[in-house]
Amino acid sequence: MSESPELVVTVEELKKATLRLSDATKQVFRLAKARAETEREYRQALSKEIVIQRSKGVQATLIPDLCRGKVADLKFERDLAQEVHRSAMSSISALEVEIQSWQSILRYMSDS
């Protein structure tokens, strides 16, 4: 008994989506590592700057703002890495929904 063209297309789309999900999970791991590294760099630079400002005798209430200003570029990189990671996680969720949809369609076609 031959399979219908629609069934073959559905199975192929399901396979493609599954491969994309596999690739996306690998990418999310790399993005999570980059996110953690940028967080570490930011926090290390911020703490160093706080020590520098304290050793200079800068007024304690001014230190947080001065230090954040000095490491603003690192904070930007940290925030960007965080949002890219979140976006990738959302993409994975969308791929999971796509796969569930293809599975439902396949189940419906198999039952018919």
Question: Helix (H) and strand (E) counts for the chain?
Answer: 3, 0
Per-residue confidence (pLDDT) for residue 52, from 0 to 100: 97
Q: With contact defined as beta carbons under 8 Å apart, do 99 and 53 qualify?
A: no
pTM of the full structure: 0.81
Q: Tell me: the pLDDT tens digits for 30-71?
A: 999 999 999 999 999 999 999 999 999 999 999 999 999 999
- What's the CATH number of domain 5-43+72-111, 3.30.70, 1.10.287, 1.10.10, 1.20.120? 1.10.287
- Give the pLDDT band of residue 92 (cuts 50, 70, 90): very high
- How far is residue 35's CA from residue 84's CA, in Å, rounded to a whole number? 9
* Cα first-last separation, the chain: 15
Q: Where are the domains of the chain?
A: 5-43+72-111
Q: Tell me: the pLDDT tens digits for 7-32?
A: 899 999 999 999 999 999 999 999 99
Q: What share of the chain is helix, strand, coil (3-state, %, to 5)?
A: 90, 0, 10
